[in-house]
Structure 1
Amino acid sequence: MTQSKPIHFCGFLVAGPVVHSHAIWRNPAHETPFLSLAHYAGIARTLERGFFDFVFFADRLAIADRYGDSHEMGLRLGDQDATRMDPLPILGAMAAVTEHLGLGATRSTTYDAPFNIAREFATLDHISSGRAAWNVVTSMNDGEALNFGDVPHLSHDERYDRADEFMEVAFKLWDSWEPDALVLDRAGGVYADPAKVRYANHKGRWFQARGPLNIPRSPQGRPLIIQAGSSGRGKAFAARWSEVIFALQPSMARMTAFTRDVRAALESAGRAPDAAKVMMAMMPFIGETREEAEAKRDLHDSLIDPRVGLSTLAAHANADFGALPLDATIDEIADTGSQGNLAALRSIAGDGSMTIADAGKIYGRGVMCPRVVGTAQDVADELMAIVDSGAADGFVISPAFLPDTFEDFVHKVVPILQARGRARTSYDARSLRERLGTLEART
């Protein structure tokens, strides 16, 4: 353990009115133009000024309608799935207004085809000069299944089995062009060397894909792979494929246990225990004094209706518990959807006394994202302590308000970390993968 270990940072976004915080669109200080391109371009510039490693967008493919078997509550109150624009076009625009910031988007292995994904991220990697990242998800609820004609939804482990083969195909497609296959001999009239472009010819249980990809090999060869699985099967998948593992763990004890399990899973997969960067979600509230920061947090929390959190929780749990009384305990929610999130809620409850209403309030204020509240020095000290304990390699900063949280963090916390040698003062590597130091070959 070393006090000089660098801390990696990512900005967490959803292309809509809510991120983890369900209060974002209700910001009393100003409107949040989440349907505007200028909104996201401004955020990208701010994160690049703070030398963040990358930004990534979470995404899902359905409006939430599990709570009460209706979309009424989620749309009325503005839950996490009330609006989600496609993040890929937004990342293209972000690429145009930045030079170094990594650019990540969520895409599902359950409701897409490997060729589409490989093509999208090869394109993004080219136009951004090697800054593309893919947050791999398997999709988890019936609402998404119904939008694609797949009923019933695949089982939890079956989704990951499919995802493993999906990744195998995508990697074959990205590797179908050798790095020097593109010749561009203008005088001789030779565009590419066909001997260095291969067919994939994949035939498996889930997919058939001939290939090759119709895009030359991109600067990184493939996007940086991000994954956030927290179940046993999810961790095994992440250990095989991921270069960044995103985790939302509500306490220091759970952060430490999660990272310990990830390191062991990486070794079991034949990789070095530090082959993937573990980055924990964190929501900062920053004030000139601790009291001011606490007042910001309390104002934020006062904007949360527990029912909006319950609508999102029902979607994540893939369970309609709207018929349960609000004083029922969360132990009565079935383990059908996001198993990691339900397990985390139960760990917070401890003795099992957390009610569904309590869970809704916690979910609404930040989907269990841990919060650090205090002065910029307080925030910097706590983040350094977590990394120095070995519980994380960095943080996915989740905003309470936009762009307010990112601006506060970049202008107040980052300079303190830079002075301590814990945050970068320049972008010293061109590609995102080089910057994160995850150059290990994956097969």
Structure 2
Amino acid sequence: MNASNQRKLHLNAFLFGSGHHEASWRHPSSRPELNLDIRYSQQLAQTAERGLMDSLFLADGYAGRANKLEPFTQLSALAMVTERIGLIATVGTTYNEPFHVARKFASLDHISGGRAGWNIVTGAQSAAFNFSREEHPEHSERYEDAEEFVEIAKRLWDSWEDDALVHDKQAGIQIAPGKVHEIDYQGRYYSVKGPLNIPRPPQGYPVLVQAGSSESGKELAAKAAEVIFTAHQTLASAQSFYADVKARLAGYGRTHDQLKIMPGFSPILGDTEAEARELEEELNRLTSTESAVKRLSERFGTDLSAYWLDDPVPLHIAKSVEEVNGHKSRHQLILDLARNESLTIRQLVHRLAGARGHLTFTGTPLQAADVIEQWFKQGAADGFNVMPQLYPSGLEAFVDKVIPELQNRGLFRTAYEGSTLRENLGLARPSNAYGEHLRSASNG
């Protein structure tokens, strides 16, 4: 295989305020006051595109005191100052309606010229009380709902055939007769007539991303997702997850290259390892241990403030994964991390402060490239969800120092492959299944 045909890795930039380290906002170089300034995120988007990264990603939720913009609004503004980079937003299924979500993503895909992606989540328990709900639906029920939700969105995007718009001024016809269809969907959770009130997106569907790694999450990913954002602390864990999910694809008539698995990678970079360690120690000193222990107590279901920080993590009092109704895989990851590395409470707090359970890295750009290459070549990843612990400097360092090294090794592109997110990820544009079904029926 020559270098031009060599498998290339994919890189997403996870934009997250002043950085993925929870104390990043306190660092002298960060600018947390700019989190709501669209010019700041536009500059970050342009930096990621300068590095030829596949996409950028905005997480979202419907509860808490988050100092960030609503993602559809923000990504539409980012689309205006970029040309090739993909634009991925988290949108939950539990507290939305399929028609609204399908319409918004179709709009974003049209605005961006085919660069939209949807990170499909079921939503957090804390959101229930903001939507007139007394409780959060049970885990398996949420995933059943999500499967139906995604299926409806696909049918709505397909409700307009690709050649439905004709704009024939002479004949006085804007929309070709018979090219727009009601979907008449009747399911367990939803009843949707359709059609969508906007033409089919340029990509057919936005790229479908999924972030759950529980059993239900892996099955949904194998059935519907085209990218998985996942979290792993070790190469062995990532390899096991990669093999498991890829093996499920055949059951849905899919091939391995139709799903890209991208673990989180959260680097602190320095020109020397000592420089990187110094930055890591500085961020850890700025971390509010009291707040971190409080959050960990909420996750464990018991008050950890009664323990000394340098006591071993009291795993015997933690909730089991079966007792957790949400973020099951992340809960298990944290338990495994504390157990496998025999961490104290203080050590666990610092490990989670860096990226909430994703793989953290502290070192030089060359060392970072070594880790990325190892995971990519040894069956653990198709690419990475890059999560710098400090913005904007961490993203700039990754783009200017890590990516050139990956390019030198023939692992990463030196030019975008196309103008849409699907083209750059090597994903096919889905055919209009609804239109094809009607044509097959008429020909039969």
User: TM-score normalized by structure 2?
Assistant: 0.89
Stretch moving more, 237-246 or 340-349: 340-349
Matches within 5 A, 1:68-147: 82-141=66-125, 143-147=126-130
* Conserved? CA contact 1:109–1:138, under 8 Å: yes
Matches within 5 A, 1:28-427: 28-32=28-32, 33-63=34-64, 82-141=66-125, 143-310=126-293, 312-313=295-296, 317=299, 320-322=301-303, 325-326=306-307, 329-334=314-319, 335=321, 336=324, 337-350=326-339, 354=343, 358-427=347-416
SS of the residue corresponding to residue 257 of structure 2 reads coil
Stretch moving more, 27-36 or 220-229: 27-36
Amino acid at match of 1:226: V
**Distance change >3 Å, CA 309–CA 20, structure 1 → 2:** farther
* Conserved? CA contact 1:46–1:407, under 8 Å: yes
Amino acid at match of 1:91: L
Aligned to 2:439: none
SS of the residue corresponding to residue 256 of structure 2 reads coil
Q: Distance in 1 between matches of 2:48 and 2:341?
A: 40
Stretch moving more, 47-56 or 320-329: 320-329
Aligned to 2:441: none
Deviations 1:369-388 (A, max 9, x none): 21222222111122111101
Deviations 1:118-144 (A, max 9, x none): 000000000100000000000131x20
Aligned to 1:78: none
* Conserved? CA contact 1:329–1:353, under 8 Å: no
Aligned to 1:7: 9
SS of the residue corresponding to residue 342 of structure 1 reads helix
Unaligned runs of 5+ in 2: 434-444
Q: Distance in 2 between matches of 1:366 and 1:282?
A: 9
Once the two structures are TM-superposed, the CA of residue 330 in structure 1 deviates from its matched residue by 3.8
Q: Distance in 1 between matches of 2:213 and 2:394?
A: 26
Deviations 1:35-93 (A, max 9, x none): 11111000000000000000111111111xxxxxxxxxxxxxxxxx5434311111001
Once the two structures are TM-superposed, the CA of residue 440 in structure 1 deviates from its matched residue by 7.1
Q: Distance in 2 between matches of 1:351 and 1:53?
A: 34
**Distance change >3 Å, CA 166–CA 375, structure 1 → 2:** same
Question: Percent of counterpart pairs with the same letter?
Answer: 38
SS of the residue corresponding to residue 279 of structure 2 reads helix
* Conserved? CA contact 2:61–2:124, under 8 Å: no
Unaligned runs of 5+ in 1: 64-80
Once the two structures are TM-superposed, the CA of residue 237 in structure 1 deviates from its matched residue by 0.7
Once the two structures are TM-superposed, the CA of residue 310 in structure 1 deviates from its matched residue by 4.2
Amino acid at match of 2:77: A
**Distance change >3 Å, CA 30–CA 339, structure 1 → 2:** closer
Stretch moving more, 285-294 or 132-141: 285-294
Q: Distance in 2 between matches of 1:157 and 1:92?
A: 33
Q: Distance in 1 between matches of 2:97 and 2:342?
A: 43
Q: Distance in 2 between matches of 1:311 and 1:224?
A: 37
Once the two structures are TM-superposed, the CA of residue 267 in structure 1 deviates from its matched residue by 2.5
Q: Distance in 2 between matches of 1:183 and 1:308?
A: 58
Q: Distance in 1 between matches of 2:180 and 2:107?
A: 17
Q: Distance in 2 between matches of 1:306 and 1:254?
A: 28
* Conserved? CA contact 1:106–1:136, under 8 Å: yes
* Conserved? CA contact 2:227–2:262, under 8 Å: yes
**Distance change >3 Å, CA 209–CA 392, structure 1 → 2:** same
Paired residues, number: 421
Once the two structures are TM-superposed, the CA of residue 394 in structure 1 deviates from its matched residue by 0.4
SS of the residue corresponding to residue 134 of structure 1 reads strand
Amino acid at match of 2:29: A
Amino acid at match of 1:369: H
User: TM-score normalized by structure 1?
Assistant: 0.89
Q: Distance in 2 between matches of 1:369 and 1:30?
A: 21
SS of the residue corresponding to residue 195 of structure 1 reads coil
Deviations 1:344-363 (A, max 9, x none): 11211226955555443332
SS of the residue corresponding to residue 48 of structure 1 reads helix
Q: Distance in 2 between matches of 1:236 and 1:406?
A: 32
* Conserved? CA contact 1:326–1:357, under 8 Å: no
Q: Distance in 2 between matches of 1:2 and 1:204?
A: 50
Once the two structures are TM-superposed, the CA of residue 265 in structure 1 deviates from its matched residue by 2.0
Once the two structures are TM-superposed, the CA of residue 307 in structure 1 deviates from its matched residue by 3.4
Root-mean-square deviation (CA, aligned residues, Å) is 2.2
Q: Distance in 2 between matches of 1:314 and 1:180?
A: 56
Once the two structures are TM-superposed, the CA of residue 417 in structure 1 deviates from its matched residue by 1.4
Aligned to 1:27: 27
Amino acid at match of 1:260: A
Deviations 1:244-285 (A, max 9, x none): 011111111211111111112223333213320000110112
SS of the residue corresponding to residue 119 of structure 1 reads helix
* Conserved? CA contact 1:346–1:352, under 8 Å: no
Aligned to 1:77: none
